[in-house]
Amino acid sequence: MFALLKKEISGFLGSLIGYIVIGVFLIAMGLLLWVFPFESNILNGGYAGIDPLFVLAPWVFMFLIPAVTMRSFAEEKKTGTIELLLTRPLSDIEIILAKYFACIVLVILALLPTLVYYYSVSVLGDPPGNIDNGRTWGSYLGLIFLAGGFTSIGVFASCISNNQVVSFIFAVILCFVCYTGFTFIGQFVSSGAVGNFIQLMGISMHYSSMSRGVIDTRDVIYFASISTAFILMTRTSLESRKW
């Protein structure tokens, strides 16, 4: 499994795909947070914090992560190398996990340079260092969990399609529905307990909770559950070749 994981990571970093994903993410975040005169501009925010990063990042991830995962299985199927891959002494779940963690590593590599934003705001604060560290690190952890959920969705979409473009579109739609769909439905259905329960089924509520710097076990379990669910559905899709 680790050999395949290393191969997948090398595949990302040995081609333009990995660098394009990281570059697009950093350029988009840099422009929205520091250049464009939008509400997300940190310099116009009036306080020391990088909260806009954690508000915008899920929407950027919604497109970038499917762009990374769309080749996971769809490309293997298109080129015919999927059969060779499945003959390796690896179980289906090990193959899926190798591709899953390789994508997450790439996302983490894209996030690391944003620590420069954190350092910059900390230095620019009055007094210097006047930044909510707990909220910031909780938000970063929330982004990683969010990336894990989106990645599992993207890998699943890639597994059920032979076309990378179709995989990308399907993954974007699924990510959007899982992130905001339940919130919209919950608010539309009811403002009481039923509506709140429906909203809790979506990713947005749990991500927002972690973005406040509060690491609740329920949120961690939720993200672990949604990632596990889509990974298991991916395994079921792979196993369907035996039926």
Say how many domains are in the chain. 1
Residue range 161-219, pLDDT digits in tens: 888 889 999 999 999 999 988 788 777 776 677 777 777 888 888 888 888 777 788 88
Residue range 80-97, pLDDT digits in tens: 777 777 777 778 888 889
- pLDDT value for 46: 66
Give the chain's mean pLDDT.
83
The top-scoring range by mean pLDDT among 41-55, 138-152, 185-199 is: 138-152
Residue 229 predicted with pLDDT over 90: yes
Residue 31 predicted with pLDDT over 80: yes
- pLDDT value for 45: 67
- pLDDT value for 154: 93
- Three-state SS string over the chain comes to CHHHHHHHHHHHHCCHHHHHHHHHHHHHHHHHHHHCCCCCCHHHCCCCCCHHHHHHHHHHHHHHHHHHHCCCCHHHHHHCCHHHHHCCCCCHHHHHHHHHHHHHHHHHHHHHHHHHHHHHHHHHCCCCCCCCHHHHHHHHHHHHHHHHHHHHHHHHHHHCCCCHHHHHHHHHHHHHHHHHHHHHHHHHHCCCHHHHHHHHCCHHHHHHHHHCCCCCHHHHHHHHHHHHHHHHHHHHHHHHHHC
Domain residues for the domain of 193 are 2-242
